[in-house]
Structure 1
C-alpha cells in the first residue's frame, strides 16, 4: 500500500521539493555580466521587458540609455540608434525598452518598476500615432507584455493613493488577464476607491512578489535573442567618420536599393509580402481612421507623470506616416497634424519641451522604411536630435508642472485639437 501511495504522490512530492530548492537556492543569472546586459539591451525580449533584474542592472550604470518605443525599434538598419551609437563610440548603448505591441500603459509599468534607476537620467521616447486609436491598447497587445511583478511592485510601494494611481487601477481592470487574480482584483478595487489595499492581501502579495522576483532572477534570459549580430553587420556599412552629407547620400542609396522603385517607397520585402497581394483592399481603407480621440492620451500621461517624479529629461520623437501610402489609403494628413498638435500641447504645457516632430516629413524620400516605421533618412534625421541631446547625459533640470486632473480625464481624451487654446 505504501509503495502504491509513493508511486502516486512521490513524483509530485519530489517535484515540489525540487521547486522549493530551485526558488530558494542561491543560484540566479549573473545580471552583472556585461555581455549578458549588452545582449539584453537590443533583445526586446518579453522576459526582459516584463522583468526588472536586467534592466535595473543596466541602468544602474551610465553605459545605457533607455529608448522607449515599439515596433520601430525592432527594425535594425545602418541608421538605427543602436548601430550609430556603436559605430561612432558615443559612450552609451541604447537599452531598447519596447517591442511590437508595447504602448504607453506598458511603457509606464516598465518605468515605475525601474524606481530610482530612472532618476535624474536622460531618455528617448518614440510616440507612435497609431497607438491612439478609439479604445486604446488592444487586449492582445496588453496581455503579451503584462507583468504581474511590475503591477505588484507598484501596488506594494503605495504610501498614498493619488489621481494617477486611481486612473491606473481602473485601466488595469479593463483587462481580463489582471482580473483573474482575486487578490490583485481586490487591491485594485480599493485603489480605485482611493484607499490603500487590505493588509491581508498585501501580506499575500508580498509573498507572491518575492516569488516573481526570484523567477525573474532565474529565467529572464530564457528565449532571449539579441540583435547584436544584426547591429554588428550594419555597423560595417557605415563610413569611418560621422559626416552628415556622406551619411545622407548613403541613406538615399540604401533606400533606393531596398525599395526597388515601388510606388510607395516601401522596403521591397515588406511590399511584396504585406502590400502587393492585398492592394485592392487598401484603397481608401483608412479614410475614417482617427488618432485624435483615445484613452491612450491619458495612458501617455501616466508615463509623463513618472518621468516628472524621477526628474528625467526626455527627448520625444513623433514619426510621420508614409505620405504616398496615406494618400492611397485615405489617411488624413490634416488629422495627423492635429494629433501632433494635441500631443505636443500635452507635453509642452507641462514642461516637456524636447520634441522632434516629423509629422510633415511623410513625403521625404526614404524617410520611412514601410508604411509607418522610420527608415533610412528618418532615423538619420532623428539622430540629428538624439546625438546632441545625449552628448551630455546629465539631465537639465526641467520645471515640470503636472496637470494630472485634466490630462487623465475623459474630457482630455475626447478634446478636439482645434479647441485647444
Structure 2
C-alpha cells in the first residue's frame, strides 16, 4: 500500500522539493537594463504594481533616475503630452515610474511601498490624491485584493513597528482581507503586541521564497506590455525638438479638439462612445447627493503620510479636478468637492506636507480634462509646470510633524471646518 502511494505521490513530492530548492537559491540581483526598466515604468498593470523586482531594479538604477509617481487610473490617460512622453522626449534627469491603476488607492499604495522602502529613503516622489477615492464606505475589498500580494504582506510584517500606523494598517488589512496568510501575526500587530521569534523566522523564510519567485517570473509582466512602444516612443515624433510650453499647448489643444468633437462635455470620443453614450440619460443628476467629506480614506491617506515621513521622502501632492461640465450634468456639488479638498489639504499641510499642486478648481479650463475625472492635454501641461521643477531639483524633505489623531474615526467622519477639529 505504501509503495503504491509512493509511486503515485512520490514524483509530485520530488517535484515540489525541486521547485522549492530552485526558488530558494534563485538569484535576485539582476543587471540593470534601461530599456526594460522604461517599459516596466509605464506597464501600468496589476502584475507590475505587485512586482518587487521590477520596481527595485528601476528605482535603484545608479545610472538612470526613476521617480515613483503614485496614483491610480489617471496614469493610463496617455496622450501627446503625457508625463512619460515629455520626460522621454526632452531627456530629463528622471523618468516617471508609475505606480497605480484603476482601483488602487492609499491603502494599496502603502502596502506597495513596503517593498521599496530603501528606494524611498531620502528620495523624491509624486503622489496624486483623488477626492473620488474618499467615498463614505471607503475602499472596496475586491479592488484592494487585486493589487495585494504575499510579498507586500511579508514586507509589512518585517517592517512593522509597534506604533499607531502599523496597528491601523493591520486592522485595515484584516478588514479588507479577513483570510489573509499569517492572520494570527497580523492580528497581533493590530493589537500592538510583539510577534514571536518563530513568527519572524517563518515570515523571513516565506519572504525569501516569494521574492525569488517574483524575480523568476517578473519579466512576464512587462514583456507582453506594449505601452512604452505604442504610447510613449511612438508619440515622440509629434513633439517639437525645442521645448516650449507655448508650442506644446498648441499641439495638445489641436489634438484635444479632434478627439473630443462628438460630444458637448469635453470628453474624449473613445471614452464617450464606450463608457457613456448608451447610458447618458440615466446618469443625469446621479451625483447630487455625493460627498467626499466623510470617508475612511482619510485614515488610509495618513498611512501613506506616515511612511513618507519615516522614509524622509520629499513629496509633491497633486489634487485633480472633475470635468466641470460633467459635474454640472451629474449634480455633483462643487462646494462639497472643495470641502473635501480643504480637508485633504489640512491633513497634509498641518503635518508639514506643503508641496501641493491643487488643480481642483480647474475643471472648466479648455481641454484640461480627458474624460469625466481624469486630466489630459492642457491638464497634463499644467501638471508638468508644477511637478517637473520639483522632481528635477530633487531637494531634501522638509521636517514633518505627524499627528496620530488622523488615524481616528472622528477625523474620518468629521465634516466641520478642518482647522477647528479637536
TM range (shorter): over 0.9
Matching residue within 197, 213, 231 for 1:215: 213
Give the paired residue count.
415
Q: Which residue of 2 aligns with 1:41?
A: 41
Q: Which residue of 2 aligns with 1:192?
A: 190
Q: Which residue of 1 aligns with 2:403?
A: 403
Deviations 1:361-417 (A, max 9, x none): 111111110001111011011101112112222x2340211112x111111111114
TM-aligned CA deviation for residue 35 of structure 1: 2.4
Equivalents in 1 of 2:30, 2:396: separation in Å? 34
Equivalents in 2 of 1:13, 1:412: separation in Å? 53
Aligned 1:385-396 pairs, distance under 5 A = 385-393=386-394, 395-396=395-396
Aligned 1:305-316 pairs, distance under 5 A = 305-316=306-317
TM-aligned CA deviation for residue 350 of structure 1: 0.7
Q: Which residue of 2 aligns with 1:24?
A: 24
Give the direction of change, closer, same or farther, for the CA distance of 1:247–1:4 in structure 2 (3 Å limit): same
Matching residue within 95, 98, 109 for 2:97: 95
TM-aligned CA deviation for residue 79 of structure 1: 1.3
Equivalents in 2 of 1:419, 1:42: separation in Å? 37
Aligned 1:154-169 pairs, distance under 5 A = 154-158=156-160, 160-169=161-170
Equivalents in 1 of 2:307, 2:103: separation in Å? 21
Name the SS of the counterpart of 2:220 in structure 1: coil
Q: Is the 8 A contact 1:252 1:376 kept in 2?
A: yes
Name the SS of the counterpart of 1:420 in structure 2: helix
Equivalents in 1 of 2:234, 2:310: separation in Å? 39
Q: Which residue of 2 aligns with 1:202?
A: 200
Give the gaps of 5 or more residues in structure 1.
none
Equivalents in 1 of 2:221, 2:114: separation in Å? 25
TM-aligned CA deviation for residue 7 of structure 1: 4.8
Aligned 1:270-285 pairs, distance under 5 A = 270-285=271-286
Aligned 1:346-357 pairs, distance under 5 A = 346-357=347-358
Q: Which residue of 2 aligns with 1:234?
A: 235
Equivalents in 1 of 2:418, 2:10: separation in Å? 70
Q: Which residue of 2 aligns with 1:414?
A: 413
Q: Is the 8 A contact 2:27 2:212 kept in 1?
A: no
Q: Is the 8 A contact 1:29 1:218 kept in 2?
A: no
Which range moves more in the overlay, 314-323 or 105-114?
105-114
Name the SS of the counterpart of 1:373 in structure 2: coil
Equivalents in 1 of 2:400, 2:371: separation in Å? 36
Equivalents in 2 of 1:192, 1:4: separation in Å? 47
Equivalents in 2 of 1:389, 1:273: separation in Å? 36
Q: Which residue of 1 aligns with 2:137?
A: 135
TM-aligned CA deviation for residue 5 of structure 1: 4.9
CA RMSD of aligned residues (A): 1.9
Equivalents in 2 of 1:226, 1:100: separation in Å? 18
Q: TM-score, normalised by structure 2?
A: 0.93
Name the SS of the counterpart of 1:203 in structure 2: helix
TM-aligned CA deviation for residue 36 of structure 1: 2.1
Q: Is the 8 A contact 1:313 1:397 kept in 2?
A: yes
Equivalents in 2 of 1:15, 1:349: separation in Å? 56
TM-aligned CA deviation for residue 152 of structure 1: 1.6
Q: Is the 8 A contact 1:134 1:291 kept in 2?
A: yes
Give the gaps of 5 or more residues in structure 2.
none
